[in-house]
Chains A and B, each alone.
Chain A
């Protein structure tokens, strides 16, 4: 069967409990082919459990997972052939060198070793100087890069990255994300979880947010931020006002700086242009405009009820 399904991954009514404690509570979502999809949530939200169920490391509780039209229980061999997984924990085999381990990994996936592709991955991930070192001798960053090469060696259609940049330096993080973008442009669908929300905001086409095993948000990234963030508009006026102009009640208007600044909290569906038109029609003279929009991180904290920064994410 050729893959004709538009969806890379379809998850339906997924449940999983450990020792009677629910970890995933009826989650549904779909990942489109070719997109970068972010699965975010605080520790214990159920992200890794879902990823491990997709990959086959954790048994399915109930529900279904379909990858490119193949059921991951019934057709597990073909499903796994199409998935590449970069685990959260660094997993290495100390018996082998990078080069040997990559060749073995292609074989595990039922794919003949392709030296051209292997060399390309080695070069692209900067592994060439370390090719004949055993894993034990590699630094933490090199191990991470090796794990990505290992997950890509069989040319998966869906690459799952479970916090691939946890504990790696900024330079390597940027390098890894550049590589992820590159393979995504070449057609590989990406599912990622990360603790760095600014990266998720920058990388992902869509974002799902989980909390306590529930999916609490799933939207296009910019839409999610736009809809849930607090947008503020600060209008600096030529002449101070004594009272807020009429017709702005839904923006919670406030006068500040002795009436020289009008502060508006914009609801998601109100755009700045319409507000400005409305104020201009009331002959209000505006000297300067400032806008402020909260980040994904603030949206995330708002949704998951967390506070005190990103500690514990």
Chain B
């Protein structure tokens, strides 16, 4: 009997299955992947919203809570998008489960898309819940909802790619946590989450313009409250270019099977 491998083969089913698996993966450990980061963000909101929020104002016309909330939302998006791809892919590499995918017809573009979309979903889910909680502390005017959502998506996409790259190069779980502790968190904190970089003395203000996270946070805040240290064009332009570079890098590594295939 002749067998036709194209018959009963649904070319996009591998992608949807991998996407489903990646979503189920973080959903099953939601205490760790969703609730914990939301609690952390909630504590920041409590400190900067309920206690300092109305007593401080570092930008005229806005409470400190209004200023800081977009940055905290973005922090949730960035951290969780990165954590999802980096931990999932590294764990697969480390425990050997990656071979289960390498022997299947999942193509490299499908592989990247599935991991990226699941990471974006987790990041945006955390960001959305943080935003909902933040409404208890301050109202955001949502100057440009479309651009705000676009920037959040761009940030989650960018850090999903970065997570893939980190997982491929990482030698141990320590390396992954080093990326978070020594790269992402410092860049977030120095990227203007808690203060406008325009208040920094030189050269620190200029240095801050080299921080890629500044553009994501500033662009998002600009869209949400109508105040930004830089223009939309610069924020989106810089973030967009960086996202494309990271995507090409991740796609090249996965297409080549770098450190995935022997």
Complex Cα distance, B261 from A49, in Å, reads 11
Complex Cα distance, B102 from A3, in Å, reads 23
B206-225 contacts to A, CB under 8 A, are none
B103 at the binding interface (Cβ < 8 Å): yes
Chain A, residues 1-23, CB within 8 Å of chain B (1/0): the string is 11110000000000000100000
Contact assessment for B97 and A109 in the assembled complex, using a CB-CB cutoff below 8 Å: no
A157 at the binding interface (Cβ < 8 Å): yes
Complex Cα distance, B26 from A108, in Å, reads 19
Q: Which residues of the partner chain B approach A105 to less than 8 Å between Cβ atoms?
A: 100, 104
Chain A, residues 260-285, CB within 8 Å of chain B (1/0): the string is 00000000000000000000000000
Complex Cα distance, B95 from A79, in Å, reads 26
Chain A, residues 150-187, CB within 8 Å of chain B (1/0): the string is 10000001000000000000000000000000000001
Given A56-B102, A83-B103; A107-B17 close (CB under 8 Å): yes
Q: Which residues of the partner chain B approach A4 to less than 8 Å between Cβ atoms?
A: 2
Given A77-B105, A83-B103, A109-B104; A68-B28 close (CB under 8 Å): no
A7-48 contacts to B, CB under 8 A, are 18
Complex Cα distance, B10 from A104, in Å, reads 14
Contact assessment for A80 and B25 in the assembled complex, using a CB-CB cutoff below 8 Å: no
Complex Cα distance, B199 from A151, in Å, reads 61
Q: Which residues of the partner chain B approach A243 to less than 8 Å between Cβ atoms?
A: none
A232 at the binding interface (Cβ < 8 Å): no
B200 at the binding interface (Cβ < 8 Å): no
Complex Cα distance, B20 from A82, in Å, reads 23
B205 at the binding interface (Cβ < 8 Å): no
A92 at the binding interface (Cβ < 8 Å): yes
Chain B, residues 102-125, CB within 8 Å of chain A (1/0): the string is 111111000000000000000000
A64 at the binding interface (Cβ < 8 Å): no
User: Residue of B at shortest CB range from A87?
Assistant: B99
B18 at the binding interface (Cβ < 8 Å): yes
Contact assessment for A93 and B97 in the assembled complex, using a CB-CB cutoff below 8 Å: yes
Contact assessment for B18 and A95 in the assembled complex, using a CB-CB cutoff below 8 Å: no
Contact assessment for B99 and A80 in the assembled complex, using a CB-CB cutoff below 8 Å: no
Contact assessment for B100 and A91 in the assembled complex, using a CB-CB cutoff below 8 Å: yes
Contact assessment for B24 and A95 in the assembled complex, using a CB-CB cutoff below 8 Å: yes
User: Residue of B at shortest CB range from A114?
Assistant: B8
Contact assessment for B101 and A108 in the assembled complex, using a CB-CB cutoff below 8 Å: yes
Contact assessment for B9 and A104 in the assembled complex, using a CB-CB cutoff below 8 Å: no
Q: Which residues of the partner chain B approach A82 to less than 8 Å between Cβ atoms?
A: 3, 5
User: Residue of B at shortest CB range from A111?
Assistant: B8
Q: Which residues of the partner chain A approach B10 to less than 8 Å between Cβ atoms?
A: 110-112
Chain B, residues 239-262, CB within 8 Å of chain A (1/0): the string is 000000000000000000100011
Chain B, residues 1-31, CB within 8 Å of chain A (1/0): the string is 1111110111101101110110011001100
* Residue count of chain A within 8 Å CB distance of chain B: 42
B96 at the binding interface (Cβ < 8 Å): yes
Q: Which residues of the partner chain B approach A222 to less than 8 Å between Cβ atoms?
A: none
Contact assessment for B97 and A59 in the assembled complex, using a CB-CB cutoff below 8 Å: no
User: Residue of A at shortest CB range from B21?
Assistant: A104
Complex Cα distance, B24 from A18, in Å, reads 36
Q: Which residues of the partner chain B approach A56 to less than 8 Å between Cβ atoms?
A: 102-103, 261
Contact assessment for B261 and A3 in the assembled complex, using a CB-CB cutoff below 8 Å: no
A295 at the binding interface (Cβ < 8 Å): no
A40-98 contacts to B, CB under 8 A, are 49, 52, 55-59, 68, 70, 76-83, 85, 87, 89, 91-93, 95-96
Complex Cα distance, B25 from A187, in Å, reads 36
User: Residue of A at shortest CB range from B8?
Assistant: A111
Complex Cα distance, B8 from A56, in Å, reads 22
Q: Which residues of the partner chain A approach B101 to less than 8 Å between Cβ atoms?
A: 108
CB distance from A123 to the nearest CB of B (A): 23
Contact assessment for A110 and B14 in the assembled complex, using a CB-CB cutoff below 8 Å: yes
Complex Cα distance, B14 from A104, in Å, reads 9
Chain B, residues 87-99, CB within 8 Å of chain A (1/0): the string is 0000000011101
Complex Cα distance, B5 from A224, in Å, reads 34
Q: Which residues of the partner chain A approach B96 to less than 8 Å between Cβ atoms?
A: 89, 91
Given A2-B3, A93-B97; A77-B102 close (CB under 8 Å): no
A237-274 contacts to B, CB under 8 A, are none
Q: Which residues of the partner chain B approach A81 to less than 8 Å between Cβ atoms?
A: 5, 9, 105
Contact assessment for A57 and B17 in the assembled complex, using a CB-CB cutoff below 8 Å: no
Q: Which residues of the partner chain B approach A83 to less than 8 Å between Cβ atoms?
A: 103
User: Residue of A at shortest CB range from B256?
Assistant: A59
CB distance from B220 to the nearest CB of A (A): 32
Given A70-B5, A108-B14; A76-B105 close (CB under 8 Å): yes
Q: Which 3 A-B pairs have the closest CB atoms?
A: A107-B17, A58-B262, A77-B105
Q: A-contacting residues of B (Cβ < 8 Å)?
A: 1-6, 8-11, 13-14, 16-18, 20-21, 24-25, 28-29, 95-97, 99-107, 257, 261-262
Please name 4 further chain A to chain B contacts, defined as beta carbons within 8 Å, in addition to the given A91-B96, A91-B99, A110-B14, sorted by A numbering: A57-B103, A68-B3, A96-B24, A109-B104
Q: B-contacting residues of A (Cβ < 8 Å)?
A: 1-4, 18, 49, 52, 55-59, 68, 70, 76-83, 85, 87, 89, 91-93, 95-96, 100, 104-105, 107-112, 150, 157, 187
